[in-house]
Amino acid sequence: MATETPVMLVAQAAVDASAEGGAVHATTEAHGGEHSEVFPPFDPSSFGTQLIWLAITFAFLYFTMSKLALPRIGSILEDRKSRIDGDLSAADAARQKTDAAIAAYEAAHAAARAKSQAIAEETRNAIKADIDGKRKAVEADLSKKVADAEASIQATKTEALGHVSEIAADTVQALVTQLTGSASADEARNAVATAAKE
């Protein structure tokens, strides 16, 4: 039943073909003689040999695929994946290293700058202290000299002032002698002292 239906369908198609063409022989009888009455794709007499060869070829295919071809392709893909992953992680590591190097450089830079500023500050302070010290010394020296000078002026002045009453007494004695003819040195000195006190 199942073997006949497609044959009839195909035969119908072939008849249609020849009807359209007109010049073609009917094909149903032609292949009837060659292939007996069985539609070849359903012919049970060929099943045995087809099954045997299918089993042989498919078993060979399965074993070659599972033992050789597929593990090989799988390992190629795996190698490539691990290589790419390795390269990516190496690139990542290199980038992190670069970042660390930049950070270290910046830290060193900042430290150096701070240090240089400290040194500059220290130097400035030292110079300032030095200058201040020197200036103080000079000032002290100067003020000492001023004080000395002032003291000597004072001494000279005191000395000079000490001579003033003597000179005045001399002058008074000389003046009184001129006016009165006689005057003692003690009197003159007393008179000058009295006058100076007033």
Size of the site for another protein (CB under 8 A): 52
Asked whether the CA dihedral 73, 77, 82, 87 is positive or negative, the reply is positive
* Of the candidate residues 72, 95, 97, 124, the single one contacting another protein (CB under 8 A): 72
Site track for another protein across 22-61, x = CB under 8 A: xxxx-x--xx--xx---xxxxx--xx-xxxxxxx-xx-xx
Place of tokens 């500023």: 117
Report how far residue 109's alpha carbon sits from residue 97's, in angstroms, rounded to the nearest whole number. 18
Q: Using the rule CB under 8 A, is 170 a contact of another protein?
A: no
Place of tokens 């500050």: 121
Binding site for another protein (CB under 8 A): 6-7, 10, 13-14, 17-18, 20-25, 27, 30-31, 34-35, 39-43, 46-47, 49-55, 57-58, 60-62, 64-66, 68-70, 72-77, 79-80, 83
